[in-house]
Each structure stands twice: as structure tokens, then as C-alpha cells.
Chains A and B, each alone.
Chain A
Amino acid sequence: MSTENRKIIFTGPVGAGKTTAIRSISDIDIVTTDEQASDMAKARKPATTVAMDYGMIKLGENERVHLYGTPGQERFNFMWDILTEGGIGLVLLIDNSRKDPQQDLKFYTQAFHKFIAAQQLVVGITRMDTHRVPNVHDYRHWLDQLKIKAPVFEVDARKRDDVSMLVQAMLMSLAPGAEIL
């Protein structure tokens, strides 16, 4: 019996919460390839993802939705095209405490622009509880400037409901009117 597999990709800068977000909705213990950070990423967290994170949502016997997290450091961006192949959508997590979140948004939307055009982007802003500026409205404005239409939510990557809502928004955007069976 064949198994149907789909992918959702989580991306964003180092420390934005990709690993945590996948963990919060995965049905399995996530597989992560964290290593001791040895470069600038060390300033933000002691360990960083060097290859990818992997989680999974099981839908019955034969259906799986795979959750992949990209490494946050740009020197691993050769992996991004491979990871997105066959993906149904992109969850971009932006860390609001970084120096220039606007540039991060620009960077990742450009890096994944082909995938975004073909599929659906959703943007989750993390660390807004401690860093209120820029606000969600600013992100909407920046996406307008980039001519990208995507839901933007404030999220806490540790909260299942927040991450779930992001993914739901992605699915609903891809198939408006989809019913919950």
C-alpha cells in the first residue's frame, strides 16, 4: 500500500524558533542535527541546526505530513532548494529581537521566491512579547512593498496553538473553503 507524503518547510534566521515550532506540532520526537555553534550564531544560542530538523504529523495509516526545518545559517542555503522540492508551503519565522527584521524578511522571501510564488507563505513573528517593535502592521507593510500576500501572525513557537494556527492559515490560503473533515 502506498504512502502519501507531503512536506511543510519551516525557515528563518538563527534562533527564530524553527526547531521549537516543529517540535510543538510534531507527532514524533523531532530529529534534529544541532551542533555547537562556532560562528556568529553562537551569540544567539549555543547550539544551532546545521543540516535540518525533521518532524512529522501522521494522518492515519498511509498519510504523512513531513515537517522540515532549514538550517538558519546562510552557508547551508544549498539545502534549501532540495528541502522545498515537493513542499506544500513555507512557514517563515522572523525573530523580532534581531537587529534588522525587515532585512531578514526580505532575504528569506527572496531566497524562496520561486517556492512562495508556486505555493503559500505564512509569516510568524517570534519574540514580540519582549520586542514590540516593529509590530505586525510594519511587517504587513513590508510584505506589500515586496508584493507578497501572506498571513502575518505574532507567534510563540513554544505554543502549539500558535504554530497550528500558522499552518492552518497556510492550508486555508491554499484551498479557501477547505472543510475540516
Chain B
Amino acid sequence: MIDKSQQSTTLKVCLEDAGTHNRAILGFFFAKLGQHIFRCVDTQEEANVLLIDYDFPTARQRFENDYQQWQKPALILSISEVSIDNAIWLAKPLTSRALLDAAEVLQQRLADSSQMQTSANSSADPISQQSSGQSFITATQPALQRPPITESPAPTNIPLVDKLGDTMAIAETDVNTQKSLADSDPEALNIDANEDNISSSEIPDSAFLKSGNAEEIAVGSTKRTADEPPPLPTENIIDEPPSLPTESEKNERNLLLCGDNQDLEASVELGDDFYKDDSFFLSSLKDAVRLARQCQQGVLLNFPEARIYVLPEIHRIFCGIDIYDSEFTELISACNIKDGGKMHILSTREIHELNDMISQQASALYDLESFVWTSTLLSARGSLPRALDPKKSVGLKHWPSLTRLENFPHVLPIAAQWSASAMSAFDIAKSLNIPQRYAFSFYNAANSLGLIEQDPDKLITKQSVPRAKDAPRGLFSRLLKRLVGG
């Protein structure tokens, strides 16, 4: 039982170790329902309770390296279970009830701690030192301190399906429904579902689906315990698949991906017939990816022919139709708004169904970028949407991960050229002496992945020192030939 003095202990928390959207939601909670219990402070030093979003990049590291030794009680928000002394784990999606219950426990602990300090008058206690305003951050680590060689913790099962029963169910609701729910009812606090635009850098680095262990799903039988060393790469080099496509099959595929449009003069006026806007499938897919990334939850995109599951936490897409099959090409070109394209965040039941499907058809799980890349290419076939001007000089922010994307002719030189300097798609094709359709295809697909920077001034330039010698292009060319199998 908690007496009044304990209940009145204000929990001072700092939100700097939570992602932007989670911070906004917690701020909303602290301003309303939790206003008499919580108070936001500017730094973790000022806080008497550490609030750490374990899924927010670097927050966990800061906690383990810096804050943990302060021995302050902590509230750990995470979708995966966390077991640490003096910390309370709050599972996401978070409920206001869970927060209030945790607050009660923390108030009790702080009151107990305060009583102990009074009786012991222990000035060495970090909490009492902290309250007098002293900082407990230890000396910063050397710049080149390499992290210890420790296996990352083995993924733990998270029975979130069960826990979801205690939280606000968000299944079968669209984003607008969620937002209105959150706005109207503070109890409907769902820390992972909101409409705030977040940068992808803030995507929680969690490896789990809402109702289970995503790594378990992704790797199946490769799951291991923390004590067990990771499987070593086998000494044998993996041979290439036995059935390599023939030259004509490759050409056929390239035709599907990049079309057969003839080159245009750069000076020609580009009319409406030049452009081809995203297919309904592609625009729906992009919307689903955007929604999934914003709320960091699985999203189902529903077509009569196929159900497409976007899983941002593991950076995957599940699609029952083989994307290299003609059925997929037909889906992209044929589907329209009458045929569906509705999307919603996965319900608990759907997550269970998905887990079953993945275990039965692991090959239907695609890398998210790879799926979007191929879908864009198949949708456009060498054309450009109206939003992309082939005469405008743009830059490539980052190389696509070409080892996992479907390649087409000249993709590597295009990436290198565009990465080296901002150019227009026309100029890329001209400088490399290649058909324009390949430059256009790259431009379009890279743009779908968010890799194109329309404002070249915003590009990061390499901090380089002049080379003593020019690159030996002849040697490079011969080496490239060897590497591509010549």
C-alpha cells in the first residue's frame, strides 16, 4: 500500500532518449493524464527516473554506457522484453494504464530510497548526489574505443499477441481512425501508432514483429542462445544457382524492367506522352510502405489477387506471388482502384496468419527495398513519372544495395557516375554512352527508395585528399572484366 507522501513524489523524466513520435505521444500523456505524476526535465541528469526507449537508435547504448551506473530507477520502453535491475519494462504498444502502474511502483521505490538515504546519510548514493545537481557522467571514452566482442543478445520471444489484449487494439483501423482515437482518448495511448512524419533514421531498431520474434520468423531454425557462438560461415564458397538464366531470358527480363523506348534528343520538348505516372499498384505500395514506416507496424495491402504485407521492423515484404513471375507483372499493370488497394495495420489475428504463412513459404519474404525497386521498374518500364525531370541535375545520396536488388544493364556504372556528381538523367546516359531507358529506370527506382536528392547542394561530398596518382583506369577495366566473369 502506498501512502500519500509516496504518491506525491513527482517523477522527473527526460524524453531525450525517445524517438520523435514517441516523445510527442509521451509529452501528450504527461501534459494530460500524467500531469500530477510526471514532470519533464531537460536532461537525464536532472531526472530522478530514466526514461529510455530501447528501440530508439543509440538510446540503449547511452543507457548502458552512461546512465546505468547512476543507479537511478528506469522505465524501459521496448517491444522486446527487457530485464534489468532497478528498471521497469513497459511493452509497446504502451498503454496509459501500464504507465500509471509503473509510476506507482517507481514512486514507491523513490520514497524507499529517500528514507534509506535519510537514515544512512549516505552521500555516496548517486541518487542523492544527483538531486544536489551533480553530474555523474563518467569521463568520455577514448575516441577509438572498440566495443567489446560480445554476441548481441539472442532474440527473446515476445508474447505480444497476449499483451495486445491489454492494449488498445488497432487492427482494422486506418491511420485516420488511429489519430482520431489518440486525440480523443488519452487512454488510447499507442506509442507505435501515430501519424507524425518521422525520418527513417528514427525507425526503431527492433527486430520484432508485433506478435513475435521477427528474427525467428526470418531465420527459422537458425535461432540460437546467447551463449552459443554464431554459426561460422562454411569454408565452402557458395556456388551460384544451378539454373542461371539464359541470355534470351535475361533480355526478356530486361525488356520488362526497362522497356524498349528509343533515345530522345536532349533538346526535345517532353510532352505528356513521355511521362507515365506510377501504376495504381505502385502508388498503393508506396503508401503502404510509408504508413508502415511511420507507425512502425506491419501493414497489409489488400488486392484480390494478392495480399502484400509490409513489415518495416525487419525491412521485409511478404507477397505470395513470385515477383519474378508473369503473374506479378500482370498484377502491377492490371490492378486498379476498383480491385482493392486498401490497407490497414495488421491485427493480432493477421499477424498469427502471417507467421504461419511465412513458416510455410519463406521464399515469399522479400527485402523491402528489393520489392519496391522491382515493382517500380515493372510499373514504369523505362518511363518516368511526371515528378521526375530527366533534364534536371540531381544527385544520388546513397548507392542502392545492388547485391540484393534486381540488376539491369549498366546499373553499376550509372550508380557510380551519379554518386560522383549531380547530373541529369539525359547527361548520365550521354556520359556513359548507354541507352537512356537504363538511366531513366535507375532514376525512377532509386527515387522510389528515397535515394535521389533533388537539390544537389544538400549532397554530402566526400572529404578527400588529392591522390598521388590518377586511378589506373586500364587496370581497373581489366579487373572489372575479371570480376564480372570475363
Contacts and interface: CB of A to CB of B under 8 A. Distances in A.
A178 B476 contact: yes
Contacts of A45: 229, 232
A1 interface: no
A118 interface: yes
Q: Report which residue of A4, A144, A154, A157 has the largest number of chain B beta carbons within 10 angstroms of its beta carbon.
A: A154
B471 interface: yes
Contact of B150 (A17, A43, A111, A117): A43
B473 A165 contact: no
Q: Report which residue of B144, B235, B399 has the largest number of chain A beta carbons within 10 angstroms of its beta carbon.
A: B399
B401 A152 contact: yes
B432 interface: yes
Contacts of A100: 61, 147
Contacts of A107: 144-147
Contacts of B159: none
Contacts of A144: 460
Contact of B473 (A41, A114, A167, A178): A178
A44 B403 contact: no
A177 B479 CA distance: 14
A147 B403 contact: no
B238 interface: yes
Q: Report which residue of A74, A99, A114, A133 has the largest number of chain B beta carbons within 10 angstroms of its beta carbon.
A: A133
Given A104-B147, A149-B462, A155 B403 contact: yes
Nearest to B228: A43
Interface string A70-110: 00001000000000000010000000011110111001001
Contact of B478 (A63, A149, A154): A63
B403 A154 contact: yes
Contacts of A176: 413, 416-417, 419-420
Given A6-B472, A103-B146, A153 B460 contact: no
Contact of A141 (B200, B474, B481): B200
Interface in B26-41: none
Chain A contact patch, size range: 35 or more
Interface in A127-156: 127, 129-138, 140-141, 144, 147-149, 151-156
Contact of B413 (A20, A141, A172): A172
B463 A117 contact: yes
B313 to A, nearest CB: 7
Contact of B420 (A118, A157, A173): A173
Contact of B482 (A24, A43, A57, A103): A57
A165 to B, nearest CB: 5
B240 A181 contact: no
B230 A127 contact: yes
Contacts of B484: 164, 168, 180
A157 B463 CA distance: 28
Contacts of A35: none
A142 B203 CA distance: 13
Given A63-B478, A137-B200, A178-B473, A98 B152 contact: yes
Contacts of A166: 403
A69 interface: no
A164 B412 CA distance: 12
Given A173-B419, A178-B476, A180-B480, A132 B215 contact: yes
A151 B418 CA distance: 12
B398 A152 contact: yes
A68 B463 CA distance: 25
Interface string A1-44: 00010100000011101001001110000000000000011011
B84 interface: no
Nearest to A124: B403
Interface in B275-324: 313-316
B207 A131 contact: yes
B415 A169 contact: yes
Contacts of A156: 233, 238
By Cβ-Cβ distance, the 10 closest A-B pairs, closest first, are A172-B416, A151-B399, A40-B149, A181-B477, A175-B471, A133-B207, A100-B147, A135-B315, A132-B314, A103-B147
25 contacts: A13-B149, A15-B232, A23-B237, A43-B151, A45-B229, A97-B230, A98-B147, A98-B152, A99-B153, A111-B144, A131-B152, A133-B205, A147-B463, A152-B401, A167-B479, A167-B483, A168-B483, A171-B476, A173-B416, A177-B417, A177-B432, A178-B477, A180-B481, A180-B484, A180-B486
Given A132-B207, A151-B399, A158-B237, 19 more contacts: A43-B229, A88-B471, A98-B152, A107-B147, A117-B465, A132-B214, A132-B215, A137-B315, A151-B398, A151-B419, A154-B404, A159-B237, A160-B237, A162-B403, A168-B480, A168-B484, A169-B402, A177-B432, A180-B477
